[in-house]
Chain A
Amino acid sequence: MAEEIRTGVYVCHCGTNIADKVDVEAVGKFAGTLPGVVVSRDYKYMCSDPGQDLIKKDIKELGLNRVVVASCSPRMHEPTFRRALAAAGLNGYLFEMANIREQVSWVSSNPLQATVKAKSLVSGAVRKVKYNRPLEERYVPVNPNVLIVGGGVAGLEAALKIAGSGNQVYLVEREASLGGKMAKFDKTFPTLDCAACILTPKMVEAGQHEKIKLLTYSEVVQVDGFVGNFQVKVRKKARYVDVNKCTGCGDCEAVCPVNTVDKFNEGLSQRKAVFKEFPQAVPNVYQITKTGTPPCRLTCPAGVNVQGYLALTRQGKFSEALALIREAMPLPAVCGRVCFHPCEGECRRGDIDAPVAINAVKRFLADYEAKNGSAQPASAPASGRKVAIVGAGPAGLAAGYYLSRAGHEVVILEGKAEAGGLLRYGIPEYRLPKEILRREIDQIARSGVNIRTNQWLGRDFTLEKLRREYDAVFLALGTSKEQTLGIPGEDLQGVLSSLKFLESANTRAESVRGRVLVIGGGNAAVDAARTALRLGAQSVEIVYRRTRDAMPAFAEEIREAEKEGVKFRFLTAPLRVVGRGGRVQALECQPRQLGEVDAGGRRKSIPATGPNVLLEAELIIAAVGQKVELPASLVGRVALAAKGTVQVDEYGKTTSDGVFAGGDLVSGPSSMVSAIAAGKEAAGIIDAFVRGEALPGPAPKPRPLPKAASVTEFYKAARHEPAQLEPEKRRGLSAEVTVTLSEEEVLDEAKRCLDCGVCSECQECVKVCQAGAIDHRMQDEEVELEVGNIILATGYEILDPSVGVQWGYGRFPNVLTGLQFERLTNASGPTAGRIVREDGREPEAVAILHCIGSRDKNYKEYCSRVCCMASLKFAHLVKDKTKAKVYEFYIDMRAYGKQYEEFYNRVQDEGVNFIRGKGAEVLEKDGRLVIRAEDTLLGVFREVPVDMVILNTALIPRADADAVARLFTIQRSADGFFLESHPKLEPMKTATDGIYLAGTCQGPKDIPDTVAQAAGAAAEALEKISAGRVRVSPITAYCLEELCSGCKTCIPLCPYNAITFSEEKKVALYNEALCKGCGTCVASCPSGAAHMRNFEEEQMLEIIEGVCAL
């Protein structure tokens, strides 16, 4: 360093603030002994003009080129002294401060040690400043757009001020409407103006202002950049109503069948799933609450909107409910009988008592239609395309139905004499009457599907012919071949597959004689057993190799079979069929036991010790499954997958062009509803295929409900279980065993649904909305904004008083929070402004309890500031609207604002009883609420009976204040509210330049203070905008390229992407315009190439040596 260092050191007394604890004179003298120091002085107030003049004079007269001031925190006066240096012609960065006030004199209780500490800090500063270099301030332009977060009165005020100056504002509000908490209030203290009357004009003005862009029902999700140039991402949550189309007419609300808790009314009433928060909402549009896809719908293979049809059913809209089912599944009467209804297994109501009888409701709806007639849903206009479907089982029928509704000409070719596949030939009549099936298939035919039976592939037509004549072919042949037992004697006369047995029973119904054994544990086995019994079998026994619990058949089927007299033999497996003269005589069986869990998650059946048994029988029915049998004419034309099913790609296309396949033919044996789902899915793809459009990818994943969605209120009624025909009446094949629920039972059962998804997507609103504004498939979207300044006006929450069991909230009705009372007394609230108890009676006495959770070390230590006045307002309103006596329980009455004390006096004059003492406990005695409190003025303990209690709860930081603070890189104070830059002088600023605070997010305050702070925050932003540019710190990192080894260590460390790699020079390139000066890269550079201005390594080592010197 060529220049001679000439340092001046100035020790400030700060009146007595420093001088009381630190021997400032000694510190000054000590400084004079340090190397490079040419002058050292102590002075009463260094920050004063004469103090600054001392420095300026010495710079000029003594030729100082470095300055150290030992005084307060640099966060106070560093800029002051830098300016003083600059005024004397010296670069402001040739300066250091030693913080001997906040960090020495004010925290010390020992003058001797404090003086040593002060000296050490001065020593460090003097050593460091030698290496300080002149730095040039940088300026960046300020984007004049402003982001305001929160649309309550604070956000509105700030937005209108800034927009009024002609600058663009983006106003982000989390809820559906502007207004915030104030919109919930009835009157405002002390003037008693109506809150809505003074707030709504601001809301409307903000809504209409050309310089304010509203982003309601939106949240800020990402903030990048810095003062003057922030990049912000905002997520606009899906409202499911188009804000630009909705007229706010409310037709949707009138038809919505779903009620949910009205949060705007603080849970005092219910609202519809489609709603507007309050009459004066801005924007004046509706929105729909969806919590996710309910588990019933999520688990249904066909995705039937269960909640939707239950909601419509309970309104008696049976045909609408059925039409909704048909949107997902065209065979409701069949499904209502034979579906395995996994929906009921998942039903949330099952967590409370028993699941909703979903399947029985569906069955009723279909049967109701059969009796009362139906309306055919409209089909799309004819497309001119033709599709052929081979197989009229559930998959083929579903595909045909949806393709026909999409406007295509559809023919289904069925080999058997009747359509229905296994529904027709595999399920016995007593479970699914033929007439019901026929009616459903007729309905599908009426939708335009041409079903042609007795058409065998290979005999009556070929695949080639179909390909020539149709635009696409869908193969839905199912699994038509039975699995064999694979044991000796299986080919004896008297051994049948369940498939053959049930088919013959379903066509000819020949009688059965003698003893029957059924092998297997699925529904086919139970069906075969019960059918055999009905056809006259002497006895029927089901032989199953696992246990009863492991049977795949439905529990109710097993139960009914047992009632009818079917016997069960578990843990038994067939070994061989014993016969004589070619006829069955007996079945030799082996005892089994359960072993390890297999790949399918069930325990294996393995041989057990014990003698084999010989079971005599005249008929053995093997119900051990089915498999695909490809017709000869398809062999070689469509490829098979390894498991023997037809091979398809992700779109269900076979290896033959234009030929699709689905259902059991592709999946192997599964359920009827899965086959329907496969047919419906194929229809969607084939529709796009024949139209020449891009094939649709997999449907977007539905959003499941949150697990912990708690339900507090629900319709209390037991499940209506469908009745079963008495076993003695079940003779013959056709008597249907399960009875359809009655209309009354179904109306009641549908009310049991918890509406756990809130909106049921029943589509009623879509039908009535003339503006076409409703879109249930709307998705969240993200918008990116560029702004120069940000104002946070995110508001507060109230303490949930149920945390203190003594206050009775949540335990007793008629114990309300202040906000609930605001809604109760509000003309737009649940009682249209009448102050009544839950039972509708007017209270005879009301207690208002102050400081619930405030000024209480168990909860919040601070005073919430607004409660005293709000309590007086409540007292006045009760007095005004009722004849009730009013008791105020207070600790201290704080009426500090303009006209507040006068209001207090007025309310006292109105005859309100003031009891000085905190309401300690709320009890219930003799049907009334009783407040226990110590009256500290009289010195007595009191119990006051009342009929309503208003708890004036603490204002607390919002639950996500921590996340929001991190998002905007600001801090929170000890009480959890956002931290202002300075509690007195910078209450609107935060430590992050360009981010300001307005209203209660910074701490509890009333409306006048909130509005004042909001206007102040707007002024802060406008100051930056007017200046047009903003100073940014010159303290940045840089790279000495000749030392850089190109290791790239620093690059991922930089949170601002300020470092890139030059492939040409093989070194790191530092963009100082992006650097914020944290120095992390510098600390981690293994080559010593990264440097940081004003925090250079040599400066750091010097200051360390300096402070360690004594």
Chain B
Amino acid sequence: MSELTTGSAAAGSASEYEPKIVGFLCNWCAYTAADLAGIARIKYPDNIRIVRVMCTGRVEPTFVLKALSAGADAVLVAGCHPGGCHYQEGNYKAYKRTLLLQSMLPQFGIEKERFRLEFVASSEGEKFARVVGDMVAKIKELGPLSGAGTRLAALDGFFAADARMEGGVNLG
């Protein structure tokens, strides 16, 4: 099976495009929900690559841009429901950053549907599976994100530590 090394070639029918989605999931709600979906054996598409963070508040815009430039077709950030954050309000911070990113991405030719924030409680395994399924379907409609790396390269300097030291942006 060593020939099966890329997502796009791995589908049952070789012709079908299989997008790659990176999901940043908070440890307490969304990640637990993803585990719960597994425990309940709820099937959903294999296109998501889950990265665990303690809280969605940890997710820097850089991570999202990094994922898009490293080959992901879309990014999901999923955390606790408003008011349900294990750290009281980290999810609100994530939400605020999301709004900024969503207004910024189209300026780089990236459809805003390729970045999504969802609130998924730890008991909502089924919702998590639904979100992934829904997102995969949407991205399949949009098609692959090509050339994002080049377009986002312009941002490298913007987010690099050196630039930020000069007093740069406040994404709090």
B62-105 at interface with A (beta carbon < 8 Å): 62-63, 66-67, 70-72, 83-90, 93, 97
**A973 contacts chain B at the CB level, 8 A cutoff:** yes
Complex contact B46–A1108 (CB within 8 A):
no
Tell me which of B7, B28, B161, B167 contacts A116 (CB under 8 A).
B7
Interface residues of A (CB under 8 A from B): 23, 26, 29-30, 73-75, 99, 101-104, 106-110, 112-117, 119-121, 124, 965-966, 969, 971-974, 979, 991-992, 1035, 1043, 1045, 1047, 1049-1050, 1053, 1055, 1076-1080, 1082-1088, 1092, 1095, 1097, 1100-1101, 1103-1105, 1107-1110
The answer to whether B87 touches A115 (Cβ under 8 A) is no
Q: Is B54 an interface residue (CB 8 A)?
A: yes
A1053 in complex: contacting residue of B42, B49, B172, CB < 8 Å: B172
Q: Which residues of A contact B66 (CB under 8 A)?
A: 1101, 1104-1105
Say if the beta carbon of B138 comes within 8 Å of chain A: no
Is the CB of B35 closer than 8 A to any CB of chain A? yes
Q: How far apart are A1091's CB and chain B's nearest CB, in angstroms?
A: 11
Q: How far is the CB of A1087 from chain B (nearest CB, A)?
A: 5
A1088 CB, min distance to chain B CBs, angstroms? 4
12 contacts between A and B (CB under 8 A): A30-B2, A75-B32, A102-B34, A116-B4, A117-B46, A971-B123, A974-B126, A991-B86, A1082-B60, A1103-B51, A1109-B71, A1110-B5
For B39, the closest partner residue in chain A by CB is A102
- Chain A residues in 8 Å Cβ range of B89: 1055
Q: Which residues from B are CB-within-8-Å of A1050? A: 172
Contact A106 B58 (CB under 8 A): no
Chain B: minimal CB distance from A435 (Å): 67
Give complex CA distance A969, B161 in Å.
34
Please tell me if B11 contacts chain A, counting CB pairs below 8 Å. yes
Chain B interface main SS type: loop
Spell out B's residues near A (CB within 8 Å).
1-2, 4-7, 10-12, 18, 20, 22, 28-29, 31-32, 34-35, 37-39, 41-55, 57-60, 62-63, 66-67, 70-72, 83-90, 93, 97, 121-124, 126, 129, 161, 164-165, 167-172
CB-based contact A1104/B51 at 8 Å? yes
Taken together as a complex, chains A and B put the C-alpha atoms of A30 and B4 apart, in Å, by: 11
The docked-state distance in angstroms from the alpha carbon of A73 to that of B27 is 11
A104 in contact with B46 given A116-B5, A969-B86, A1110-B7 (CB within 8 Å): yes
CB A157 to nearest CB in B, in angstroms, measures 27
Q: Which of A971, A1095, A1107 contacts B121 (CB 8 A)?
A: A971
Contact among A979, A1076, A1105 with B70 in the assembled complex (CB-CB below 8 Å): A1105
Q: Is the CB of B87 within 8 A of A1080?
A: yes
Write out the residue numbers on chain B whose beta carbons fall within 8 Å of the beta carbon of A109. Answer: 43
Which has the most chain A C-beta neighbours within 10 Å: B50, B63, B71? Answer: B50
A1079 adjacent to B164 (CB under 8 Å) = no
Q: Which of A30, A106, A992, A1078 contacts B38 (CB 8 A)?
A: A106
Please pick, from A974, A991, A1086, A1108, the residue contacting B32 in the complex, using a CB distance under 8 A: A991
B53's contact among A23, A75, A1043, A1095, by CB below 8 Å, is which? A1095
In the assembled complex, the Cα of A854 lies from the Cα of B86 at a distance in Å of 31
Instruction: Determine how close the nearest CB of chain B comes to the CB of A681; give it in whole angstroms.
Output: 44
For residue A1107, which residues in chain B have a CB less than 8 angstroms away from its CB?
Answer: 22, 49, 51
Extra contacts besides A107-B43, A1084-B172 (5): CB < 8 Å: A99-B35, A99-B52, A109-B43, A1088-B164, A1104-B63
Complex: chain B residue closest to A1050, CB-CB: B172
Contact partner of A108 (CB less than 8 A), chosen from B43, B60, B90, is: B43
Chain B residues whose C-beta falls within 8 Å of the C-beta of A971 in the assembled complex: 28-29, 32, 84, 121-123
Among residues of A, the one whose C-beta sits closest to the C-beta of B121 is: A971
Q: Chain A contacts of B87 at CB under 8 A?
A: 1055, 1076, 1078, 1080
Instruction: Quote the shortest CB–CB distance from B78 to chain A (angstroms).
Output: 13
Chain B's nearest CB lies how many Å from the CB of A867? 24
Answer whether A107 and B49 are a contact pair too, CB < 8 Å, given A1083-B57, A1087-B164, A1110-B5: no
Q: How far is the CB of A697 from chain B (nearest CB, A)?
A: 36
Contact check, A115 vs B58: say whether CB atoms are below 8 A apart: no
Task: Find out whether the CB atom of B11 lies under 8 angstroms from the CB atom of A113.
Answer: yes
**Bound complex: CA of A884 vs CA of B30, how far in Å?**
55
A103 lies within 8 A of B165 (CB): no
Which of B4, B28, B71, B172 is A991 in contact with, Cβ under 8 Å? B28
Contact A1095 B51 (CB under 8 A): no
Chain B residues contacting A114 (CB-CB under 8 Å) are 46
Bound-state Cα–Cα, A1083 to B100, Å: 14
- Interface contact A116-B86, CB-CB below 8 Å: no
Cβ contact within 8 Å between B49 and A1108: yes
> Are A966 and B165 in contact, CB atoms less than 8 angstroms apart?
no
Q: Are A110 and B46 in contact (CB under 8 A)?
A: yes
What's the Cα separation between A1078 and B89 when bound, in Å? Answer: 10
Bound Cα distance A431, B18 (Å): 92
Max chain A CB contacts within 10 Å: which of B1, B46, B60, B97? B46
A1080 lies within 8 A of B60 (CB): no
Closest Cβ of chain A to B134, distance in Å, is: 15
